[in-house]
Chain A
Amino acid sequence: MTNSKMDKYTAGFGLSVAVTSLLNAILLLVKETNPALMNAMKAAMGHHWTTHGTMVLVLFVLLGFVFSATKFAEKWDSGKMVWLIVFASIIGSVAIAGFFLPNLPFAGGGMK
């Protein structure tokens, strides 16, 4: 069993997963607090979520190829990539859940 050098697409798209997971959360926070952006996203594709999803997936693919074309793979190893993906996916998701947390009953939200 060895720890060989990272493949360029594994490194590039791994970094893209991490970066896009965080950008997904940032886009959510910005659109929910900025009515102008929310309306623009609704107008763009008929529903803000459709536009949100398209932006996230296009960014994921685009950044994946961009990072794959750089020398990034030479500087990183799989161990670092594992932690980057774990932290980015959890931080991004917790940020989204945290934003909507006040809507839960124990926080006073949605009570009748």
Chain B
Amino acid sequence: MFVQGMMFSHVMFGVLGILCAVALFTDTLNACESNLERIKKLSMAVAVFLVLSYLIGGYWYVVFYGAERDIIKAGQWAWAHAFFMEVKEHVFFVPLMLGIYAPIVAYRNDVCRDAGARKLLLTISALTVLFGLFMEGAGGIISKGLSIGLMGR
């Protein structure tokens, strides 16, 4: 159950990071005094959830993925690892840095009055959502690659 729990947590924290980034985007679009505190909390939530997803997913990848990688590579969807996992594991650092950068922008600037800072936070949250959706899609294809590999055994 430990391995399944880790995989569940990795995906769950990733999805929560994306959802908070969507909420951050919409709140920043309507930034004013009344939602400024929520914007700060949401930006921090994006960072925390993405870091948790990275640490848990990273541990799982390094410790448990090797056996599954061999099954995927021996199957019909070998490219699920050769393209999607390879791209996912390296591109992930971009949304991770964007997520960590979000609270720096939210806490160090007044996004209510500073149009530039507001645009910057909107861009960061939008990019985080787009990269996050790619991560989720790639994760789905990698899982399917494993299923296909097991079917061929």
Contacts and interface: CB of A to CB of B under 8 A. Distances in A.
Nearest to B117: A78
Interface residues of A, number: 46
A60 to B, nearest CB: 5
Residue picked from A53, A56, A81, most chain B C-beta under 10 Å: A53
A56 B87 contact: no
A9 B108 contact: yes
A110 interface: yes
Contacts of B110: 4
B116 A97 contact: no
Q: Which one of B87, B96, B115 has the highest number of Cβ atoms from chain A below 10 Å of its Cβ? A: B87
Q: Looking at chain B, what size class is its interface with the partner chain?
A: 35 or more
Interface of A: 1-4, 6-7, 9-10, 13-14, 16-17, 20-21, 24-25, 28, 46-47, 49-50, 52-53, 56-57, 60, 77-79, 81-82, 85-86, 89, 92-93, 96-97, 100-101, 103-105, 109-110, 112
Contacts of B96: 57
B105 interface: yes
Nearest to A1: B115
**Main SS at interface, chain A:** helix
Contacts of A89: 94, 98, 127, 131
A101 B84 CA distance: 9
B79 A50 contact: no
| Of listed B75, B94, B108, residue having the most chain A CB within 10 A | B94
Given A28-B90, A46-B62, A109 B127 contact: no
A16 B100 CA distance: 11
B35 interface: no
A3 B100 CA distance: 23
Given A13-B104, A82-B120, A100-B82, A3 B114 contact: yes
